[in-house]
Chains A and B, each alone.
Chain A
Amino acid sequence: MDLRVHTVAVDSDAPLLSHLPDAGGVVWLRQGEGFVGWGEAARIDAGTGPERFSRAAEAWADLLESVTVMDDVGIAGTGPVAFGSFAFDDRSHGSVLVVPEVVVGRREGVTFLTRASATDDLHDTPPAPAIVAEGPAPRGDRVRYAGSSVPDVLWLAAVAAAVDRLEAGELEKVVLARDHAVWSKEPFDARDLAWRLAERFPSCFTFSVDGLVGATPELLIRRLGKRFESLVLAGSARRGADDVEDTALGEELLGSDKDRREHDLAARSVYDVLGPLCDDLAFPGVPELLRLDNVQHLASRFVGTLHRADDLTALDLAARLHPTAAVGGTPTSDAVELIRELEGMDRGRYTGPVGWVDRTGDGEWGIALRCAQLAGARARLFAGAGIVVGSLPEDELEETRLKLRAMQGAFGEELS
Protein backbone atom coordinates (compact mmCIF):
# COMPACT_ATOMS: atom_id res chain seq x y z
CA MET A 1 0.00 0.00 0.00
CA ASP A 2 1.73 3.16 -1.16
CA LEU A 3 1.77 6.21 1.06
CA ARG A 4 0.66 9.63 -0.05
CA VAL A 5 2.25 12.45 1.92
CA HIS A 6 1.10 16.03 1.81
CA THR A 7 2.73 19.01 3.60
CA VAL A 8 1.01 22.39 3.88
CA ALA A 9 1.90 25.57 5.76
CA VAL A 10 -0.43 26.26 8.68
CA ASP A 11 -1.15 29.37 10.66
CA SER A 12 -0.28 28.53 14.26
CA ASP A 13 2.02 30.06 16.80
CA ALA A 14 0.77 27.87 19.63
CA PRO A 15 3.32 25.60 21.33
CA LEU A 16 3.62 22.47 19.18
CA LEU A 17 2.79 20.26 22.16
CA SER A 18 -0.59 21.94 22.43
CA HIS A 19 -1.53 20.27 19.12
CA LEU A 20 -0.68 16.72 20.23
CA PRO A 21 -3.89 14.77 20.86
CA ASP A 22 -2.28 11.41 21.56
CA ALA A 23 -0.05 10.48 24.54
CA GLY A 24 1.56 7.83 22.33
CA GLY A 25 2.66 10.38 19.71
CA VAL A 26 6.18 11.48 18.82
CA VAL A 27 7.91 14.63 20.06
CA TRP A 28 11.14 16.33 19.01
CA LEU A 29 11.39 19.89 20.31
CA ARG A 30 13.97 22.54 21.06
CA GLN A 31 13.24 26.17 21.87
CA GLY A 32 9.73 25.95 20.49
CA GLU A 33 10.71 24.42 17.14
CA GLY A 34 10.71 20.80 16.00
CA PHE A 35 7.83 18.36 15.61
CA VAL A 36 4.96 16.62 17.23
CA GLY A 37 3.29 13.71 15.46
CA TRP A 38 0.61 11.13 16.01
CA GLY A 39 -0.83 8.02 14.48
CA GLU A 40 1.31 5.47 12.64
CA ALA A 41 1.35 5.52 8.85
CA ALA A 42 4.30 3.13 8.94
CA ARG A 43 6.41 1.44 11.56
CA ILE A 44 9.82 -0.13 11.00
CA ASP A 45 11.00 -2.54 13.67
CA ALA A 46 14.76 -2.48 13.33
CA GLY A 47 15.46 -5.63 15.32
CA THR A 48 18.73 -6.30 17.15
CA GLY A 49 22.39 -6.56 16.24
CA PRO A 50 24.85 -4.03 14.86
CA GLU A 51 22.88 -4.08 11.60
CA ARG A 52 19.75 -2.62 13.27
CA PHE A 53 20.68 0.82 11.90
CA SER A 54 21.29 -0.28 8.31
CA ARG A 55 18.19 -2.49 8.43
CA ALA A 56 16.11 0.54 9.47
CA ALA A 57 17.82 2.80 6.91
CA GLU A 58 17.14 0.35 4.09
CA ALA A 59 13.51 -0.11 5.08
CA TRP A 60 13.13 3.69 5.19
CA ALA A 61 14.71 4.03 1.74
CA ASP A 62 12.41 1.30 0.39
CA LEU A 63 9.38 3.00 1.88
CA LEU A 64 10.37 6.33 0.28
CA GLU A 65 10.56 4.62 -3.15
CA SER A 66 6.83 4.07 -3.03
CA VAL A 67 5.73 7.37 -1.48
CA THR A 68 3.95 10.06 -3.46
CA VAL A 69 4.84 13.47 -2.03
CA MET A 70 3.18 16.82 -2.35
CA ASP A 71 5.26 19.30 -0.40
CA ASP A 72 4.01 22.92 -0.41
CA VAL A 73 6.68 24.08 2.07
CA GLY A 74 9.94 22.40 1.06
CA ILE A 75 12.26 22.90 4.03
CA ALA A 76 14.11 20.36 6.16
CA GLY A 77 11.61 18.11 7.90
CA THR A 78 8.72 18.57 5.47
CA GLY A 79 7.34 15.70 3.41
CA PRO A 80 7.66 12.20 4.86
CA VAL A 81 9.58 12.08 8.14
CA ALA A 82 10.58 9.12 10.27
CA PHE A 83 11.18 9.40 14.01
CA GLY A 84 13.43 6.84 15.56
CA SER A 85 14.98 5.56 18.72
CA PHE A 86 17.64 2.85 18.84
CA ALA A 87 18.90 0.53 21.55
CA PHE A 88 22.33 1.26 23.05
CA ASP A 89 23.52 -2.35 22.96
CA ASP A 90 23.48 -4.58 19.88
CA ARG A 91 21.71 -7.22 21.96
CA SER A 92 18.85 -5.04 23.22
CA HIS A 93 15.42 -4.83 21.67
CA GLY A 94 13.14 -1.91 20.87
CA SER A 95 14.94 -0.11 18.01
CA VAL A 96 12.28 1.47 15.84
CA LEU A 97 11.41 4.06 13.18
CA VAL A 98 7.90 5.50 13.17
CA VAL A 99 6.26 7.49 10.37
CA PRO A 100 3.31 9.34 11.97
CA GLU A 101 0.04 9.90 10.14
CA VAL A 102 0.08 13.57 11.13
CA VAL A 103 3.09 15.73 11.89
CA VAL A 104 2.92 19.35 12.99
CA GLY A 105 6.34 20.92 12.63
CA ARG A 106 7.97 24.30 12.99
CA ARG A 107 11.30 25.38 11.59
CA GLU A 108 12.70 28.91 11.23
CA GLY A 109 9.33 30.29 12.28
CA VAL A 110 7.36 28.38 9.59
CA THR A 111 4.70 26.04 10.94
CA PHE A 112 3.60 23.18 8.73
CA LEU A 113 1.41 20.12 8.82
CA THR A 114 2.20 16.86 7.09
CA ARG A 115 -0.37 14.13 6.58
CA ALA A 116 0.63 10.63 5.50
CA SER A 117 -1.99 8.12 4.50
CA ALA A 118 -2.71 5.42 1.99
CA THR A 119 -5.95 7.03 0.91
CA ASP A 120 -5.20 10.76 0.80
CA ASP A 121 -6.13 12.20 -2.56
CA LEU A 122 -3.54 15.00 -2.15
CA HIS A 123 -5.91 17.66 -3.54
CA ASP A 124 -7.78 17.74 -0.30
CA THR A 125 -6.00 20.26 1.98
CA PRO A 126 -5.46 18.81 5.50
CA PRO A 127 -7.34 20.69 8.23
CA ALA A 128 -5.42 23.05 10.53
CA PRO A 129 -4.38 21.36 13.79
CA ALA A 130 -6.61 21.93 16.81
CA ILE A 131 -5.34 23.07 20.18
CA VAL A 132 -6.00 20.24 22.60
CA ALA A 133 -4.01 21.29 25.68
CA GLU A 134 -2.33 24.41 27.02
CA GLY A 135 0.13 22.80 29.36
CA PRO A 136 0.77 19.69 31.42
CA ALA A 137 -2.18 18.24 33.28
CA PRO A 138 -1.79 18.39 37.07
CA ARG A 139 -1.00 14.97 38.48
CA GLY A 140 -3.77 13.21 40.33
CA ASP A 141 -1.42 10.88 42.15
CA ARG A 142 2.15 11.32 43.29
CA VAL A 143 5.15 9.52 41.84
CA ARG A 144 6.32 6.58 43.92
CA TYR A 145 9.70 4.85 44.03
CA ALA A 146 9.80 1.23 42.90
CA GLY A 147 13.45 0.24 43.36
CA SER A 148 16.37 -0.16 41.00
CA SER A 149 17.59 -3.00 38.80
CA VAL A 150 20.82 -2.92 40.79
CA PRO A 151 20.87 -1.66 44.41
CA ASP A 152 23.13 1.38 44.48
CA VAL A 153 25.45 -0.28 47.02
CA LEU A 154 26.29 -2.80 44.32
CA TRP A 155 26.40 -0.08 41.67
CA LEU A 156 28.99 1.76 43.75
CA ALA A 157 31.01 -1.46 44.05
CA ALA A 158 30.73 -1.88 40.26
CA VAL A 159 32.16 1.62 39.78
CA ALA A 160 35.06 0.72 42.10
CA ALA A 161 35.62 -2.48 40.09
CA ALA A 162 35.62 -0.44 36.88
CA VAL A 163 38.19 1.98 38.34
CA ASP A 164 40.44 -1.02 39.19
CA ARG A 165 40.19 -2.23 35.60
CA LEU A 166 40.96 1.24 34.28
CA GLU A 167 43.94 1.52 36.60
CA ALA A 168 45.15 -1.87 35.36
CA GLY A 169 45.24 -0.26 31.89
CA GLU A 170 42.54 -2.46 30.35
CA LEU A 171 40.71 0.58 28.99
CA GLU A 172 40.62 4.36 29.34
CA LYS A 173 37.03 5.18 30.08
CA VAL A 174 33.72 3.49 30.68
CA VAL A 175 30.27 4.96 31.27
CA LEU A 176 28.21 3.17 33.89
CA ALA A 177 24.50 3.80 34.26
CA ARG A 178 21.80 2.85 36.72
CA ASP A 179 18.04 3.02 36.73
CA HIS A 180 15.35 4.14 39.14
CA ALA A 181 11.87 2.69 38.75
CA VAL A 182 8.75 4.62 39.69
CA TRP A 183 5.04 3.89 39.71
CA SER A 184 1.84 5.77 40.25
CA LYS A 185 -1.83 5.03 40.67
CA GLU A 186 -2.56 6.61 37.30
CA PRO A 187 -0.78 6.15 33.96
CA PHE A 188 2.07 8.48 33.04
CA ASP A 189 1.38 10.72 30.05
CA ALA A 190 4.39 11.33 27.81
CA ARG A 191 3.01 14.73 26.82
CA ASP A 192 2.97 15.99 30.40
CA LEU A 193 6.59 14.94 30.80
CA ALA A 194 7.48 16.59 27.50
CA TRP A 195 5.80 19.86 28.58
CA ARG A 196 7.77 19.94 31.83
CA LEU A 197 11.06 18.92 30.22
CA ALA A 198 10.72 21.48 27.43
CA GLU A 199 9.99 24.18 29.97
CA ARG A 200 12.83 23.24 32.30
CA PHE A 201 15.44 22.45 29.62
CA PRO A 202 14.62 24.81 26.71
CA SER A 203 18.09 24.43 25.17
CA CYS A 204 17.87 20.61 25.19
CA PHE A 205 16.09 18.42 22.66
CA THR A 206 12.91 17.15 24.29
CA PHE A 207 11.91 13.84 22.74
CA SER A 208 9.26 11.17 22.96
CA VAL A 209 9.43 8.14 20.69
CA ASP A 210 7.59 4.91 21.36
CA GLY A 211 7.48 5.37 25.15
CA LEU A 212 11.00 6.74 25.57
CA VAL A 213 10.68 10.31 26.86
CA GLY A 214 13.48 12.66 27.82
CA ALA A 215 15.51 15.80 27.20
CA THR A 216 19.03 15.64 25.88
CA PRO A 217 21.61 18.38 25.48
CA GLU A 218 23.74 16.03 23.40
CA LEU A 219 23.32 16.54 19.63
CA LEU A 220 24.89 13.46 18.13
CA ILE A 221 24.46 14.78 14.60
CA ARG A 222 22.46 17.38 12.69
CA ARG A 223 22.71 17.07 8.92
CA LEU A 224 21.19 19.72 6.66
CA GLY A 225 22.36 19.12 3.11
CA LYS A 226 26.13 18.72 3.25
CA ARG A 227 26.47 20.71 6.44
CA PHE A 228 26.62 18.89 9.73
CA GLU A 229 27.04 19.71 13.37
CA SER A 230 27.77 17.57 16.41
CA LEU A 231 27.95 18.59 20.05
CA VAL A 232 29.97 16.45 22.43
CA LEU A 233 29.29 16.69 26.15
CA ALA A 234 31.38 14.80 28.70
CA GLY A 235 32.62 15.91 32.08
CA SER A 236 30.15 17.68 34.31
CA ALA A 237 29.67 19.53 37.56
CA ARG A 238 26.67 20.78 39.46
CA ARG A 239 25.36 24.37 39.19
CA GLY A 240 26.21 26.78 42.00
CA ALA A 241 23.73 28.31 44.41
CA ASP A 242 24.79 31.78 43.20
CA ASP A 243 26.88 33.30 40.38
CA VAL A 244 30.10 33.25 42.40
CA GLU A 245 29.83 29.57 43.28
CA ASP A 246 28.58 28.76 39.79
CA THR A 247 31.59 30.42 38.16
CA ALA A 248 33.95 28.73 40.62
CA LEU A 249 32.45 25.29 39.87
CA GLY A 250 32.74 26.00 36.13
CA GLU A 251 36.38 27.06 36.45
CA GLU A 252 37.11 23.99 38.54
CA LEU A 253 35.49 21.82 35.85
CA LEU A 254 37.50 23.45 33.06
CA GLY A 255 40.68 22.98 35.08
CA SER A 256 40.01 19.41 36.20
CA ASP A 257 42.43 16.93 34.62
CA LYS A 258 40.02 14.06 35.25
CA ASP A 259 37.13 15.80 33.49
CA ARG A 260 39.30 17.07 30.65
CA ARG A 261 40.62 13.57 30.05
CA GLU A 262 37.09 12.19 30.05
CA HIS A 263 35.95 14.93 27.69
CA ASP A 264 38.84 14.64 25.26
CA LEU A 265 38.22 10.90 24.83
CA ALA A 266 34.58 11.60 23.92
CA ALA A 267 35.48 14.45 21.55
CA ARG A 268 38.19 12.35 19.90
CA SER A 269 35.76 9.48 19.28
CA VAL A 270 33.44 11.83 17.36
CA TYR A 271 36.27 13.50 15.46
CA ASP A 272 37.65 10.13 14.35
CA VAL A 273 34.32 9.28 12.69
CA LEU A 274 33.44 12.65 11.15
CA GLY A 275 36.94 13.87 10.24
CA PRO A 276 37.47 11.49 7.28
CA LEU A 277 34.06 12.41 5.79
CA CYS A 278 35.02 16.02 5.10
CA ASP A 279 37.98 18.32 4.47
CA ASP A 280 37.27 21.10 6.88
CA LEU A 281 36.67 19.55 10.29
CA ALA A 282 38.68 21.24 13.02
CA PHE A 283 39.34 19.63 16.39
CA PRO A 284 38.33 22.29 18.93
CA GLY A 285 40.92 21.19 21.51
CA VAL A 286 39.69 23.31 24.40
CA PRO A 287 36.10 22.63 25.49
CA GLU A 288 33.57 25.29 26.43
CA LEU A 289 31.13 25.30 29.32
CA LEU A 290 27.50 24.51 28.60
CA ARG A 291 25.22 25.41 31.51
CA LEU A 292 21.87 23.72 31.96
CA ASP A 293 19.27 24.07 34.66
CA ASN A 294 20.76 21.47 36.98
CA VAL A 295 24.26 20.77 35.70
CA GLN A 296 27.14 22.25 33.69
CA HIS A 297 29.03 20.29 31.06
CA LEU A 298 32.27 20.50 29.15
CA ALA A 299 31.21 20.89 25.51
CA SER A 300 32.95 20.60 22.13
CA ARG A 301 31.10 21.58 18.95
CA PHE A 302 32.07 20.11 15.59
CA VAL A 303 30.82 21.83 12.44
CA GLY A 304 31.78 20.58 8.99
CA THR A 305 30.83 20.00 5.37
CA LEU A 306 30.52 16.46 4.00
CA HIS A 307 32.32 15.55 0.77
CA ARG A 308 28.96 14.38 -0.47
CA ALA A 309 25.58 14.26 1.22
CA ASP A 310 23.60 11.93 -1.00
CA ASP A 311 25.00 8.67 0.36
CA LEU A 312 25.04 9.46 4.07
CA THR A 313 21.76 10.38 5.73
CA ALA A 314 21.56 11.83 9.24
CA LEU A 315 20.57 8.34 10.39
CA ASP A 316 23.64 6.81 8.71
CA LEU A 317 25.88 9.33 10.45
CA ALA A 318 24.22 8.65 13.80
CA ALA A 319 24.80 4.93 13.26
CA ARG A 320 28.49 5.51 12.55
CA LEU A 321 28.92 7.67 15.64
CA HIS A 322 27.12 5.34 18.03
CA PRO A 323 28.24 4.55 20.68
CA THR A 324 30.42 7.58 21.35
CA ALA A 325 32.81 7.61 24.28
CA ALA A 326 30.33 9.91 26.02
CA VAL A 327 27.92 7.00 26.53
CA GLY A 328 30.07 3.88 26.02
CA GLY A 329 33.73 4.48 26.68
CA THR A 330 37.18 4.09 25.17
CA PRO A 331 38.04 1.83 23.45
CA THR A 332 34.43 1.31 22.42
CA SER A 333 34.27 -2.47 22.19
CA ASP A 334 36.08 -3.02 25.51
CA ALA A 335 33.84 -0.46 27.17
CA VAL A 336 30.65 -2.04 25.84
CA GLU A 337 31.89 -5.43 27.06
CA LEU A 338 32.66 -4.02 30.53
CA ILE A 339 29.24 -2.36 30.68
CA ARG A 340 27.64 -5.75 29.97
CA GLU A 341 29.75 -7.30 32.71
CA LEU A 342 29.36 -4.69 35.45
CA GLU A 343 26.17 -2.71 34.88
CA GLY A 344 23.77 -5.53 35.67
CA MET A 345 20.81 -4.17 33.67
CA ASP A 346 19.50 -3.73 30.15
CA ARG A 347 19.79 -0.08 29.11
CA GLY A 348 17.19 -0.55 26.41
CA ARG A 349 17.16 2.62 24.30
CA TYR A 350 18.71 4.80 27.02
CA THR A 351 21.99 6.26 25.63
CA GLY A 352 20.98 5.17 22.14
CA PRO A 353 20.39 7.57 19.21
CA VAL A 354 16.99 9.28 19.09
CA GLY A 355 15.82 11.71 16.41
CA TRP A 356 14.36 12.13 12.93
CA VAL A 357 15.28 11.80 9.28
CA ASP A 358 13.46 13.15 6.25
CA ARG A 359 13.34 12.01 2.62
CA THR A 360 16.45 13.97 1.64
CA GLY A 361 18.47 12.46 4.49
CA ASP A 362 18.41 15.65 6.54
CA GLY A 363 17.74 15.13 10.19
CA GLU A 364 18.77 15.55 13.80
CA TRP A 365 19.79 12.78 16.16
CA GLY A 366 20.52 13.18 19.82
CA ILE A 367 21.63 10.71 22.42
CA ALA A 368 18.81 9.59 24.69
CA LEU A 369 20.12 10.88 28.01
CA ARG A 370 18.04 12.07 30.96
CA CYS A 371 15.11 9.98 29.90
CA ALA A 372 12.51 7.52 31.08
CA GLN A 373 10.95 4.47 29.54
CA LEU A 374 7.19 4.65 30.16
CA ALA A 375 4.91 1.64 30.45
CA GLY A 376 1.46 2.65 31.65
CA ALA A 377 1.63 3.62 35.32
CA ARG A 378 5.24 2.45 35.59
CA ALA A 379 8.45 4.00 34.35
CA ARG A 380 12.19 3.46 34.46
CA LEU A 381 14.40 6.53 34.79
CA PHE A 382 18.06 6.37 33.84
CA ALA A 383 21.28 8.19 34.61
CA GLY A 384 24.93 7.44 34.05
CA ALA A 385 28.40 8.77 34.72
CA GLY A 386 31.73 8.55 32.92
CA ILE A 387 34.35 6.63 34.87
CA VAL A 388 38.07 7.29 34.36
CA VAL A 389 41.18 6.68 36.48
CA GLY A 390 40.75 8.75 39.62
CA SER A 391 36.94 8.62 39.65
CA LEU A 392 35.55 8.29 43.17
CA PRO A 393 32.57 5.91 43.27
CA GLU A 394 30.62 8.05 45.77
CA ASP A 395 31.01 11.13 43.55
CA GLU A 396 29.74 9.19 40.54
CA LEU A 397 26.82 7.91 42.61
CA GLU A 398 26.01 11.49 43.61
CA GLU A 399 26.25 12.64 39.98
CA THR A 400 23.73 10.02 38.87
CA ARG A 401 21.52 10.89 41.84
CA LEU A 402 21.41 14.54 40.75
CA LYS A 403 20.74 13.56 37.13
CA LEU A 404 17.91 11.28 38.23
CA ARG A 405 16.41 14.12 40.26
CA ALA A 406 16.13 16.22 37.11
CA MET A 407 13.95 13.51 35.57
CA GLN A 408 12.01 12.98 38.80
CA GLY A 409 11.15 16.68 38.66
CA ALA A 410 9.80 16.21 35.13
CA PHE A 411 7.47 13.55 36.49
CA GLY A 412 6.02 16.21 38.76
CA GLU A 413 7.68 14.69 41.79
CA GLU A 414 8.22 17.22 44.55
CA LEU A 415 11.76 16.97 45.82
CA SER A 416 13.07 18.34 49.08
Chain B
Amino acid sequence: MPDPADQALAAAITTPLPDERVAGVELVTLAELADRAGMPLAVLEAIEREGLLVPRVAEPEPRYAARDVEVVQAGVDLLQAGLPLGELLDLARRFDTAMGEVADDAVELFARFVKDPVEGTAEDGAQAAEALVDRFQTMLPATSKLVAHRFRQLVLARARARLED
Protein backbone atom coordinates (compact mmCIF):
# COMPACT_ATOMS: atom_id res chain seq x y z
CA MET B 1 0.00 0.00 0.00
CA PRO B 2 1.49 3.40 -0.97
CA ASP B 3 2.62 5.50 1.92
CA PRO B 4 0.38 8.61 2.28
CA ALA B 5 3.40 10.78 3.07
CA ASP B 6 5.09 9.64 -0.17
CA GLN B 7 1.92 10.26 -2.15
CA ALA B 8 1.57 13.78 -0.80
CA LEU B 9 5.20 14.50 -1.52
CA ALA B 10 4.88 13.14 -5.05
CA ALA B 11 1.90 15.44 -5.63
CA ALA B 12 3.85 18.39 -4.24
CA ILE B 13 6.75 17.65 -6.56
CA THR B 14 4.44 17.55 -9.59
CA THR B 15 3.15 21.04 -8.82
CA PRO B 16 5.81 22.32 -6.47
CA LEU B 17 4.32 25.55 -5.13
CA PRO B 18 0.75 26.69 -4.47
CA ASP B 19 0.87 29.44 -7.07
CA GLU B 20 2.08 26.98 -9.71
CA ARG B 21 -1.02 24.81 -9.43
CA VAL B 22 -2.61 24.37 -12.82
CA ALA B 23 -5.96 25.82 -11.75
CA GLY B 24 -4.53 29.28 -11.17
CA VAL B 25 -2.08 29.33 -14.05
CA GLU B 26 -2.69 30.68 -17.53
CA LEU B 27 -1.80 28.01 -20.05
CA VAL B 28 -0.67 28.73 -23.59
CA THR B 29 0.51 26.76 -26.61
CA LEU B 30 4.15 26.81 -27.67
CA ALA B 31 3.23 29.03 -30.62
CA GLU B 32 1.65 31.59 -28.27
CA LEU B 33 4.67 31.43 -26.02
CA ALA B 34 6.96 32.04 -29.01
CA ASP B 35 4.79 34.93 -30.08
CA ARG B 36 4.89 36.59 -26.65
CA ALA B 37 8.67 36.16 -26.39
CA GLY B 38 9.23 37.37 -29.96
CA MET B 39 11.15 34.18 -30.85
CA PRO B 40 10.80 32.00 -33.94
CA LEU B 41 8.63 28.98 -33.06
CA ALA B 42 11.40 26.71 -34.40
CA VAL B 43 13.73 27.96 -31.67
CA LEU B 44 11.24 27.20 -28.88
CA GLU B 45 10.57 23.78 -30.39
CA ALA B 46 14.31 23.10 -30.29
CA ILE B 47 14.58 24.35 -26.70
CA GLU B 48 11.62 22.15 -25.75
CA ARG B 49 13.24 19.08 -27.36
CA GLU B 50 16.42 19.88 -25.46
CA GLY B 51 14.37 19.55 -22.26
CA LEU B 52 14.88 23.18 -21.27
CA LEU B 53 11.19 24.01 -21.50
CA VAL B 54 8.68 21.60 -19.99
CA PRO B 55 4.94 21.68 -20.66
CA ARG B 56 2.75 22.01 -17.54
CA VAL B 57 0.05 19.91 -19.18
CA ALA B 58 0.97 17.23 -21.69
CA GLU B 59 -2.48 16.03 -22.80
CA PRO B 60 -4.34 16.41 -25.05
CA GLU B 61 -1.97 19.03 -26.42
CA PRO B 62 1.15 20.35 -24.66
CA ARG B 63 0.42 23.59 -22.80
CA TYR B 64 2.96 25.83 -21.17
CA ALA B 65 2.59 28.22 -18.27
CA ALA B 66 2.35 31.77 -19.53
CA ARG B 67 4.83 32.72 -16.79
CA ASP B 68 7.41 30.60 -18.63
CA VAL B 69 7.52 33.54 -21.00
CA GLU B 70 9.74 35.23 -18.39
CA VAL B 71 12.20 32.35 -18.56
CA VAL B 72 12.13 32.37 -22.35
CA GLN B 73 12.57 36.14 -22.28
CA ALA B 74 15.70 35.71 -20.13
CA GLY B 75 17.11 33.44 -22.85
CA VAL B 76 16.17 35.99 -25.50
CA ASP B 77 18.00 38.68 -23.51
CA LEU B 78 21.19 36.58 -23.57
CA LEU B 79 20.84 35.96 -27.30
CA GLN B 80 20.24 39.63 -28.00
CA ALA B 81 23.33 40.50 -25.99
CA GLY B 82 25.26 38.47 -28.56
CA LEU B 83 25.54 34.94 -27.19
CA PRO B 84 25.12 32.48 -30.05
CA LEU B 85 22.24 30.03 -29.56
CA GLY B 86 24.47 27.03 -30.27
CA GLU B 87 26.91 28.03 -27.52
CA LEU B 88 24.04 28.73 -25.12
CA LEU B 89 22.50 25.31 -25.73
CA ASP B 90 25.91 23.71 -25.24
CA LEU B 91 26.34 25.58 -21.96
CA ALA B 92 22.86 24.47 -20.89
CA ARG B 93 23.78 20.83 -21.55
CA ARG B 94 26.99 21.14 -19.55
CA PHE B 95 25.14 23.00 -16.79
CA ASP B 96 22.66 20.10 -16.58
CA THR B 97 25.47 17.58 -16.26
CA ALA B 98 27.30 19.54 -13.57
CA MET B 99 24.22 20.63 -11.61
CA GLY B 100 22.52 17.24 -11.91
CA GLU B 101 25.08 15.87 -9.49
CA VAL B 102 24.47 18.68 -7.01
CA ALA B 103 20.70 18.22 -7.37
CA ASP B 104 21.06 14.50 -6.58
CA ASP B 105 22.98 15.38 -3.43
CA ALA B 106 20.33 17.94 -2.44
CA VAL B 107 17.57 15.36 -2.82
CA GLU B 108 19.63 12.91 -0.79
CA LEU B 109 20.04 15.49 2.00
CA PHE B 110 16.28 16.07 2.06
CA ALA B 111 15.60 12.35 2.29
CA ARG B 112 18.09 11.72 5.09
CA PHE B 113 17.75 14.80 7.22
CA VAL B 114 14.14 15.88 6.67
CA LYS B 115 12.02 13.04 5.39
CA ASP B 116 13.40 10.25 7.58
CA PRO B 117 13.17 12.24 10.87
CA VAL B 118 9.66 13.54 10.04
CA GLU B 119 8.38 10.06 9.31
CA GLY B 120 10.09 8.73 12.41
CA THR B 121 8.47 11.25 14.73
CA ALA B 122 5.04 11.99 13.21
CA GLU B 123 2.03 10.54 14.99
CA ASP B 124 0.43 9.23 11.82
CA GLY B 125 0.70 9.26 8.04
CA ALA B 126 -1.50 12.31 7.60
CA GLN B 127 0.57 14.40 9.97
CA ALA B 128 3.78 13.25 8.30
CA ALA B 129 2.36 14.13 4.87
CA GLU B 130 1.38 17.61 5.96
CA ALA B 131 4.76 18.25 7.59
CA LEU B 132 6.69 16.98 4.59
CA VAL B 133 4.78 19.04 2.05
CA ASP B 134 5.16 22.08 4.27
CA ARG B 135 8.94 21.64 4.61
CA PHE B 136 9.31 20.88 0.91
CA GLN B 137 7.48 24.06 -0.06
CA THR B 138 9.73 26.08 2.21
CA MET B 139 12.93 24.40 1.14
CA LEU B 140 12.47 24.51 -2.64
CA PRO B 141 12.40 28.32 -2.94
CA ALA B 142 15.13 28.59 -0.31
CA THR B 143 17.36 26.21 -2.27
CA SER B 144 16.66 28.03 -5.52
CA LYS B 145 17.53 31.34 -3.86
CA LEU B 146 20.80 29.98 -2.47
CA VAL B 147 21.85 28.43 -5.76
CA ALA B 148 21.05 31.59 -7.73
CA HIS B 149 22.91 33.73 -5.19
CA ARG B 150 25.94 31.45 -5.14
CA PHE B 151 26.03 31.20 -8.93
CA ARG B 152 25.93 34.96 -9.22
CA GLN B 153 28.82 35.25 -6.74
CA LEU B 154 30.81 32.69 -8.70
CA VAL B 155 30.22 34.40 -12.06
CA LEU B 156 31.27 37.77 -10.65
CA ALA B 157 34.36 36.33 -8.98
CA ARG B 158 35.43 34.55 -12.18
CA ALA B 159 34.79 37.66 -14.26
CA ARG B 160 36.91 39.70 -11.85
CA ALA B 161 39.72 37.14 -12.03
CA ARG B 162 39.55 37.18 -15.85
CA LEU B 163 39.81 40.97 -15.95
CA GLU B 164 42.82 40.93 -13.63
CA ASP B 165 44.67 38.44 -15.84
Contact = CB atoms under 8 A, between A and B. Distances in A.
B45 A160 contact: yes
A393 B48 CA distance: 12
Nearest to A163: B42
Interface stretch (B18-26, B80-88, B109-117, B141-149): B80-88
Contacts of A147: 82
Interface in B78-128: 79, 82, 84-87, 89-90
Nearest to A392: B49
A153 B43 contact: yes
Interface in B18-43: 39-43
Contact of B85 (A160, A161, A392, A397): A397
A393 B84 contact: no
A400 interface: yes
Overall SS of chain B's interface: helix
A159 interface: yes
Contacts of B43: 153, 156-157
A398 interface: yes
Contacts of B39: 153
Contacts of A392: 46, 49
Interface in A375-416: 392-394, 397-398, 400-401
A218 to B, nearest CB: 23
Nearest to B82: A147
A157 B40 contact: yes
B80 to A, nearest CB: 9
Chain B contact patch, size range = 10 to 19
Contacts of B86: 152, 397-398, 400-401
Contacts of B82: 147
Nearest to B93: A398
B70 interface: no
A128 interface: no
A393 B79 contact: no
Interface in A126-163: 147-148, 151-154, 156-157, 159-161
B50 interface: yes
A394 B82 CA distance: 18
Contacts of A398: 86, 89-90
Given A147-B82, A151-B79, A153-B79, A393 B42 contact: yes
A292 B89 CA distance: 25
Contacts of A156: 40, 42-43, 46, 85
A22 to B, nearest CB: 35
Nearest to B40: A157
Nearest to B46: A394
A153 B49 contact: no
Nearest to B90: A401
Interface of A: 147-148, 151-154, 156-157, 159-161, 392-394, 397-398, 400-401
25 contacts: A147-B82, A151-B84, A152-B86, A153-B43, A156-B40, A156-B42, A156-B85, A157-B40, A157-B43, A159-B42, A160-B40, A160-B41, A160-B45, A393-B42, A393-B46, A394-B46, A394-B50, A394-B89, A397-B46, A397-B86, A398-B89, A398-B90, A401-B86, A401-B87, A401-B90
